[in-house]
Structure formats: C-alpha cells, structure tokens
Structure 1
Amino acid sequence: MLHIILNGCFGRMGQEIQEEINQNKELTIVAGIDRTQQEADFPVYQTLADVTEAADVVIDFSHDNSVATLVDQCVQKKLAIVIATTGLSENTKQQIDKASQMVPIFYSANMSLGVNVLIEALQKITPALEEDFDIEIVEKHHNQKKDAPSGTALLLADSINAAAEEKKDYILGRSGQENARSKNEIGIHAVRGGTIPGEHAVLYAGKDEMIELKHTALSRRIFANGALKAGEFLKDKKPGLYSMSDLLK
C-alpha cells in the first residue's frame, strides 16, 4: 500500500488524482494540502508542516510559487516527493537538485508516459535528420494556461538539442523576425484556446518531404496516472533526482 500526501488536493489535477486512487486498492491518500478548505475523505491542511500523518510520498500538483517551500518541508520531514507542477523557475530547479541529495525527488515537466516515449523517439531520429530538415514545435493548451511556451515544449526542444550534433537556438514565435530562417534554430509556437488538455507536435521539414510526430492528451487523467506511477517508483528509493527516463527503463 502506497500512502500519499496530496498537495493541491482540490485543484483540477488533485481531483483527477483522487479519482485514480479511488480505483486502486494499493493506493491511499492519508492527507491533503490546499489553501481552500472543503470536505474530503481525508484530513486537509494548509501546509505540509501541519501534517501529522505518516506517508510514503508527497505528490505535488500545485502552483510554481509554492514548490520551493514544499521541497524544504519534505527535506525536514524526510519525505519523498513527486513534483508534477510546471513552470518552475531556475532557482526552484536548483533547489530541487540540492534537496535531492537528502530525499528522493521525482521531477518531470510532463508526467505523461506517451510524451516521454515521444522524447526517446525524437532523440533517435534527430541525428539522422538535423542536417537536412528544419525543426519546429507547435503546442496547444487550454485558455487558462499561464506559461508559454509550455514546459513540455521546452522539454521536447531540450531533448532534441541533447541529441543534435549542432546545438539549436530557440525562437519563440516569429513576430518581428525579418530574416530568413536559420538552420541553427528550433521554432516554438504556442496556441491557447478552449479546454485543450494539451497537444504537442514536432515537425521535421525537409526538401519536398515532412515528418511530424505528435502527442495529444485527450484528458488530464494521463498526467494523474503518470504521477501515481512515479510515486510508486519512488517508494523505498534512495535520495536522488529521478525522472521519467528512469521509470521507463
């Protein structure tokens, strides 16, 4: 049985997590954390510091501004944590890296198993295509998403760059770009509208041919499922910084 503290329990993703857990007898929420107070099947606190229940892992779907404090509190309580919140600052990422020396931390800019398999595919084909193909990324999300480009779009771009022989510059949109496209770049474009959970397309455009790899999220449930798999993966792990590439091995 995996005992979970759910941070952001009343948010959209927190509710998705609860629905997934209700269908799995091997998972249970021992406590929730949220700024709002509502009725729940478990005790709910304002901060992790207030939680008295024992747990195996904290799963975080909250706001980027609260992650740094949460990580500090996990270190103090010696709790493993899955960080599924996106849009983190570089300072917070550095803090996560430092904290992972003391507690197990699982962090990914996207918790979808499919997206992370897509990343592996991109890294395999990029070396063969980069010389003759231009690379563009188009991401689409709902109209309430605040960060642009998405963390996943940047994750895809970073994975391409890691496999490329010649490192690419990121061009965010093309407004004001009066010069012809450079070979040494990846264009990243953001679309916001409606209730789109998330779509990412990577286009390799060559002379008279194109290759497109696309991932479409049909619901937020896939991110909840990935976060719970990450939580199970972290149980009994030693301190360290883990990612989807470790889970997929």
Structure 2
Amino acid sequence: MKVALIGYGMMGKVIEQKLLARGHEIVGIVSMDRLQSIKDISEPFDVIIDFSHPDNLASLLAYVDVHHTPIVVATTGYTDEQVASIKHAALQSPVVYTANFSLGVTVMQEVLRQITPILEDSFDIEVIEKHHNQKIDAPSGTAKMLVETLNPDGIYEEVFGREGSSKRKREIGIHAVRGGSIVGEHSVIYAGEDEVLEIKHEAHSKGIFANGAIKAAEFLVGKPVGLYNMHDVLFSK
C-alpha cells in the first residue's frame, strides 16, 4: 500500500514507523518542514492518511474531490461545518472518519449497542471522560460519540455536568475531567438497584490511534465511494 501522509508531528512520526514496519510505502509527507502541499507529491499513492490540523481540511478535500482518492481523516477538533464537508466528500470518494480510531473504543461501542437496550429501563447511565490538562475541548469527541451510541433516538436528555439541586429525569450525565498527562479514559456507568456495571477504556499511548488509522487505510483501499467508520473497518464482512 502506497500512502500519502499528512502531518508529521508526534502522531505522524508514530504512523510512519508503524506503516514501514507493516511493509507499506510512504510516497510523500506533507508538513511544515516537508512537502508544502499534497499536490507536491510526485508519485502515485493508494490512500491518504491525515493526522494534521483542521486548517488543512479544505485543501485536502479539494484534492480528494478532483482525484477521488481514498482518505482516512484522523485529525480531531473539527467544527460542525467541517464535519459536514467530510460527509459531503464521501459522496464522491471513499472516506473513513470517526472521533476515535482506537480498536478498543470501537469494540466498546459495539458492547454498548448490545447491552443498553437490555438495561436502559432499570439502570441510570452516566459517561465520564478524562484527559490531560492541555486538551481544550470538553466533553471529548469520543464521549460525544459514545453518547450517540447510547442515545441514538434522542430519548434521553443529555446533561453536561451537574450543579444545584434537581431530581434525576430520563437523562445521561456527561462529565469531563482534565488533569496531568492522562492520554484518555472513557467510562460508561450503568447504575441499577444494588448493582453497578462499568464499561471502561483506557488509552496508555497515542500509538493505539495510529494502529487504528493504518487498519482503516488498509480497509479503505479498493472500497467503493462512501462514508465509513471504525465499526465498518472491524465488523463489516
């Protein structure tokens, strides 16, 4: 597999190492100290992996719209408008986009889909996410993704943090913790009468996101036009 790698920060370097270890070829790296644009890559490539910055999205999607190149969009922090543009690009090109490329989080989502309908009538549901003290957005994109999995039909009110005094309604509480160097933790708590079930994922390094992005790229090569996520990557036949 020949890859165009967008972004050469910490994640880009990790992806480079893992791609080469798996026998793939990187034909070009776009970053401030490498190539300035994807248009500067002279060799053909099979797929784009983007782990850069939201500001690069418009130029990348403009290239994809013309060349219909498969792209794995692994950058985070997009606005709603940018997410809409990613979905629009998938009308003409194969695209993998998700809030979290961890294989474990993807499996966690599948578990939540199966157990929530069984427990929702007799258990309260809370989501807690923890990240390092430099993370700007809260709650995390992954926490929002998990809530969408828990509440696909919008039957729960989504409550972000709590203060004051009010009786619990049909709701999902969502709580964010910021401190230290926590890479990422996400917990879903089902609290029932005299019992508590907690489904938890801990990220111990950012390498897990590189693994998922590479697996997504391998999946995407040769796929038809469309928007895919990590559930498709792991569970589609």
Distance 2:53 2:162 in 1: 29
Q: Which residue of 1 aligns with 2:166?
A: 179
- What TM-score do you get using the length of structure 2 for normalisation? 0.94
Deviations, residues 68-105 of structure 1 (Å, cap 9, x unaligned): 33222222232110011122222112111111111110
Structure 2: any 5+ residue segments left out of the alignment? none
Among 16, 19, 43, which residue is 2:17 paired with?
Answer: 19
Judge conservation of contact 2:90–2:225 (CA < 8 Å) in 1: yes
Secondary structure, aligned partner of 2:185? strand
2:6 aligns with 7
CA–CA distance in structure 1, aligned partners of residues 29 and 178 of structure 2:
31
Count of matched residue pairs: 235
Secondary structure in structure 1 of the residue aligned to 2:42: coil
Match of 1:112 in 2: 102
Question: In the alignment, does 2:224 pair up with 1:238?
Answer: yes
For 2:108 and 2:31, how far apart are their aligned partners in 1?
33
- The answer for unaligned runs of 5 or more in structure 1 is 38-43
> Residues 101 and 203 (structure 1 numbering): CA distance in 2 closer, same or farther, change over 3 Å?
same
1:169 maps to which residue? 157
The residue type paired with residue 167 of structure 2 is A
| Aligned residue identity for 1:207 | E
* Moved segments of 4+, more than 3 Å: none
Deviation track 1:160-194 (CA, whole Å, cap 9, x = no partner) reads: 112x6x6112211114x431222x21111111122
* In 1, Cα distance between equivalents of 2:216 and 2:182: 24
Please show how residues 210-225 of structure 1 align to structure 2 within 5 Å: 210-225=196-211
CA RMSD of aligned residues (A): 1.5
Normalized against structure 1, the TM-score is what?
A: 0.89
Provide the secondary structure at the position in 2 that maps to 1:214.
strand
CA distance in 1, matches of 2:98, 2:116: 21
> Does residue 1:84 correspond to 2:79, yes or no?
no
Identity percentage of aligned residues? 47
